[in-house]
Amino acid sequence: MRILGVDPGSESTGYGLIDSDGSEHRVILYGAIKTPANHPFYNRLLNIYNGLAELLDREPADVIAVEEVFYAANVQSALKLGHARGVVLLVAAQRRLPLYEYSPLEIKRGIVGYGRAEKAQVQGMVAFVLHMPEVPTPDDAADALAVAVCHAHRMRAGVPVPARRSHRRRRAVVDRGIS
């Protein structure tokens, strides 16, 4: 299975594509889509979209795994991060690719076994698990590879977490006649 892990950001969106059978993982490619800070925000989102679309045209994936929004220094940062995540969701929907979302805690637990692991621990374990001679750079790419490996481990364990879990709750409420 080919898993595209994405670490969304408006300045730099990391990506990491791996091939995995659930226990053995192989890196196909990784990197980051950088957006110029002096460009209008909507153009930066377009750059992220085009970068992901071109990547998937070159190297198809079976699923996309993305990091959930967890914290932002301020409301503006949270909104920008949400917009960048929306671009990833759009790419997945347009290509009809299953999408899975993981919190930073789930990713750390899935890679290191401890949800409060330091960034360096996670990056070191990513390099180890993927048989890489050194920690992948930039950091956004290493984080994206961690998301992909986390998903591979979840699939192996038989506990994938479908994206948009909240939809199930909303449907249940609607089914009871509450709008």
For residue 59, indicate whether it is catalytic.
no
106 is a catalytic site residue: no
What residues does 66 pair with on adjacent strands? 6, 101
Asked if the bond preceding 104 is cis, omega within 30° of 0, the reply is no
Nearest to 99 by CA among 88, 108, 110: 88
* Identity at 157, one-letter amino acid code: A
DSSP 26-76: EEEEEEEEE--TTS-HHHHHHHHHHHHHHHHHHS--SEEEEEPP---SSHH
- In whole angstroms, what is the distance from residue 159 CA to residue 40 CA? 40
For this structure, is 7 an active site residue?
Answer: yes
- Catalytic residue, from 7, 101, 106, 143: name it: 7
Of the residues 67, 101, 106, 143, only one is catalytic, namely 67
Which position among 62, 140, 143, 175 bears the catalytic label?
A: 140
Please give the single-letter amino acid code of residue 95: R
**Among all residues, which ones are annotated catalytic?**
7, 67, 140
